[in-house]
Each structure stands twice: as C-alpha cells, then as structure tokens.
Amino acid sequence: MITVYGTGPMFGLPHASPFAFKAEMLLKISGLPYKLARADIRKAPKGKIPWIDDDGVIVPDTAFIKRHLEEKHGIDFSGGYSKREQGIGLAVERLLEDHVYWLNIHSRWLDGDNFQRGPFRFFDDAPALIRPLIRKMVLRTVQQSVHAHGIGRHDAAGREYLGKLAIDAMADILGDNPYILGERVCGTDATAFAFMASLACPVFASPHIAQVHEHANLVAYLDRMTRSYFPDLATASS
C-alpha cells in the first residue's frame, strides 16, 4: 500500500496544496491502491509537501513520484500520445507549476482577505502564544519568494494580464478534447486538473476565477474530472 502525504481536504478541494492534489491524482490515474496521511512539514524529506511512502521507499516531489510509479509499478502516464504531444503536455505542466502556481500563491497569501479565508488557518495547530509570530515569519518568506520569482514585482493589472494569457492558452490547448491532450487521460491531466481547480477555487476572490469561467470547455473539464475522480466532492458541491 502506498501512502500519500498531503495537506488534506480544504476549501472544497482534495488538498490545499495543488502539488499534493497532483500527487493523489497520479495515484488515481495509476489505479494503484493507496491511502492518505496528513503531512508534517517538519518531517518532509525536502522540506516540501507532498511525498509518498511506497513500502518503505520515500519519494518526495511529484516529478519523482511520477517517475517512481512508472519505474517500479510499470505505470504508463503517456496516454499513448506521440512524443510531440507529450512535449506539449510537459510544457503545459511547467506553465502551471512554474507560473500559474505563483499567481495563485500571490492571490491567496498576499491579498489580506484571501489570506484570512485560507492560509491564516494553516497555523491553527501551532501553540497559541507563538502562532502570530509564526504566521508573520512564514508570510514574510512567501512575500520574498513571490518577489524573487518575479510575479510579485507586477501590479494587479499585470498579474491579471499574465493570468489571462495562461488561462486562454489552456483553453486553446484543451479545445474540444475530453482531456488535455485528446481522447485519453494522461499524466498531464494530473497537473492540469489540480492546478486549474486550485486556481478557480470559489472560496477566494480572484480575477483568475472569472478568467477560467470565460471558457466553457475549462469549466466542463474541471467538472468532468471532479465527477470522475472525486465524486464525493462533486456531490457536495452540487
């Protein structure tokens, strides 16, 4: 049995972290049996969530989790697509993980109202006496990281423009397909579903939510994936 260490359900999503969401999606696509466990960041192998424990083999980072499932269990995440199509899929994943992710981080952490709705709660288990200090320290680290990435150097209009470019591109790539690359689900869908669903989470106030909803195909994709892979969440939100 594989154990997936993630953040757990929050905000109507399977995980607060889109990377943990992606890790569970990889397991769902693989068809392998697994169980979930709440991650303790202090025990994270690389200081980040998620990671898996596969019969004593610890594998952090979703890229390496994917490789591990392919190599140890013979899972084919290619979906049978051509090398060119798989290249497009990898480019989509990097767009979401290295760009859209930071737009979402900025929205959730550096907007005061959104911070209160979401990340503020991440520290509830910390001792009450030092909880405000921990929140302040982590928030400062997030601010520095977002600035270092570059997203934090743009004003609101600039971030909205960058979000629109990325979301429009996702809609164009999806087109009329049931899945990102075509008629068959593949590893790219684990990333696309996790990150687009996180970006469109209605718990938060963000222009990116409206940008997603401008595209009927993206909305249908998120709904279809939720009903296929997380039917309990689909029922709860209907």
The topology (CATH level 3) of 83-237 is: Glutathione S-transferase Yfyf (Class Pi); Chain A, domain 2 (1.20.1050)
CA–CA distances in Å: residue 143 to residues 49, 130, 150, 183: 19, 20, 11, 40
pLDDT at 4 over 90: yes
CA–CA distances in Å: residue 131 to residues 69, 123, 136, 212: 38, 7, 9, 35
Q: Which residue in 83, 50, 78 sits closest to 64, CA to CA?
A: 50
Mean pLDDT of 18-28: 98
The pLDDT assigned to 75 comes to 98
Which of 7-11, 61-65, 69-73, 141-145 has the least mean pLDDT? 7-11
- Residue 105: other Cβ atoms inside 10 A: 18
What is the C-alpha to C-alpha distance for residues 58 and 45, in angstroms, rounded to an integer?
Answer: 8
What is the C-alpha to C-alpha distance for residues 123 and 66, in angstroms, rounded to an integer?
Answer: 30
Whole-model pTM?
0.94
Contact (Cβ atoms closer than 8 angstroms) between residue 166 and residue 158: no
Q: What is the tens place of the pLDDT at every residue in 130-187?
A: 999 999 999 999 999 999 999 999 999 999 999 999 999 999 999 999 999 999 999 9
Q: At 132, list the tokens.
A: 């405000």
The pLDDT assigned to 41 comes to 87
pLDDT at 86 over 80: yes
CA–CA distances in Å: residue 99 to residues 20, 54, 195: 17, 30, 11
Mean pLDDT of 190-216: 97
Architecture of domain 2-73: 3-Layer(aba) Sandwich (3.40)
Contact (Cβ atoms closer than 8 angstroms) between residue 52 and residue 1: no
Give the start-to-end residue ranges of the domains of the chain: 2-73, 83-237
